[in-house]
Amino acid sequence: MFEKSAVRWTLGAAGMLAAMTLEAQSDPFAPTSRSGAFVHVSGTRASDTAGKLVPGDIKAQTKRALENLEARLKSAGSSLARAASINVYLKNAADFAAMNEVYRTFWTKEPPARTTVVANGSDPNALVEIAAVAIPNGGERRVIHPEGWLDSANPYSYGILSGDTLFLSGLISRNGKDNQLIAGDMKAQTTTVLENGGAILKAAGMTHADVVQSRIYITDTAAFQDMNAAYRGFFPKDPPVRATVKAGLMGAQYLVEITMVAVKGGRQVITPPNADGTPGTANPNLSGAIRVGDRLWLSGMLGNTPATQDDVPAQTKETLARLQRAAQAAGFDWAHMKEAVVYITDMKNRAAVEKVWRESFPKGFPAGVQVESGLVAPDGLVEIMLSGAK
């Protein structure tokens, strides 16, 4: 059930009015959560106050979903104008242009960074689901745009900087100076994407060494190792935490899209221990956990073992156990978790995953979103990525 007590209320009539219009959804996530200087907003759909999808096409659903997002942000002391990063999950790639038509009316200038992929959300009838990270009112928000680059043809900024944190848009293999495709195989496209990311990072006074989190979307899991081969060259030491899943992109010519978050400051890289307490093994492609100050990012983890084969609840429990060990090794516990992305290979398994999830968070949920995606492990059924703050 939707619980108003989970909403981060703000003082003043505007916040109270916004909260009264919040839509009801049954997902096992808090509508919003506060992580240091940022507000995380769970996936929002075109739901009414009774939790039912409003009728209409992609334009109508996009409009309502963004109105719901706006209400949640206002209730949390922020606004659409303060949004830093948006994740859009479309049911159909063919709806991309129509979604953009409505989306750009909500941000007439300085839109947030954005990633858009094809993926089903929790409601099979929803055409779009939108999650966000925003900056509270009064916080720094600066658009980052590399010198000599054209504006994106679509309504997003390449980067949004707030304090020590940079949110980058999902990047594809395109030339920022003329917006033209740079064709190539998975290795070539991954290289272009990360070179583009380097240009955005440089414009913000950062480098690849400051990246703490990557979310990677590939269209063919057979090319996973080719992506890794190119990716490792940009992160030779202490790579970011990461989740890599299969998803459709906004053009058949694109093979990979990468979204990143970078944070300036001293970091602690944690390799989670094994279940028996022995030291874990570092992965050359990703770090298990990264801590910067009072903030924590955990890699997407799976629970596929010989003992959990084809068992959704067992894999979910093992996934959460691994995440919990990683968090505890960094000095965090479940109560500190603020944002979750749950990737499920088949939404028919949603109820089984949610049952374990609810049992694991008896004192309150983080903000989050559930997405139907293919995993790079052929026997993996669920992957979960978390971030937290004290």
Q: What is the pLDDT of residues 330-359, one digit of tens each?
A: 999 999 999 999 999 999 999 999 999 999
Counting Cα atoms < 13 Å in the Cβ hemisphere of 231 gives 29
d(CA 343, CA 339): 13
Strands (E), 78-223: 83-90, 113-118, 128-134, 142-144, 159-162, 165-168, 174-175, 180-181, 211-218
Q: What is the pLDDT of residues 201-236, one digit of tens each?
A: 999 999 999 999 999 999 999 999 999 999 999 999
- Residue 289 structure tokens: 């956990």
Give residues with Cβ within 8 angstroms of 331, minimum separation 6: 291
Look at residue 115 in the predicted model and tell me its pLDDT. 98
Judged against a pLDDT cut of 90, whether residue 12 lies above it is answered with no
Look at residue 26 in the predicted model and tell me its pLDDT. 73
Amino acid making up residue 284: P
d(CA 296, CA 61): 34
Integer-rounded Cα radius of gyration of the chain: 19
Tell me the residue length of the chain. 390
| All structural domains of the chain | 1-139 (3.30.1330.40), 140-265 (3.30.1330.40), 268-389 (3.30.1330.40)
Judged against a pLDDT cut of 50, whether residue 46 lies above it is answered with yes
* C-alpha torsion sign, points 79, 81, 87, 90: positive
Residue found under tokens 């995606």: 373
**Ramachandran region, residue 293 (left: φ > 0; alpha: ψ -120 to 50; beta: rest):** left
**φ/ψ of residue 324, rounded to 5:** -65, -40
Percent of the chain with pLDDT over 70: 94
Pairing type for strands 367-372 and 337-344 reads: parallel
Indicate the pLDDT class of residue 36, thresholds 50, 70 and 90. confident
Nearest to 80 by CA among 103, 52, 57: 103
Q: How many CB atoms lie within 10 A of CB 125?
A: 11
Q: How many CB atoms lie within 10 A of CB 265?
A: 12
Indicate the pLDDT class of residue 20, thresholds 50, 70 and 90. very low
Indicate the pLDDT class of residue 21, thresholds 50, 70 and 90. low
* C-alpha torsion sign, points 64, 65, 71, 74: negative
Judged against a pLDDT cut of 80, whether residue 188 lies above it is answered with yes
Judged against a pLDDT cut of 60, whether residue 18 lies above it is answered with no
Look at residue 357 in the predicted model and tell me its pLDDT. 97
Amino acid making up residue 158: Y
Percent of the chain with pLDDT over 90: 91
Judged against a pLDDT cut of 80, whether residue 22 lies above it is answered with no
pLDDT (mean) for 160-185:
97
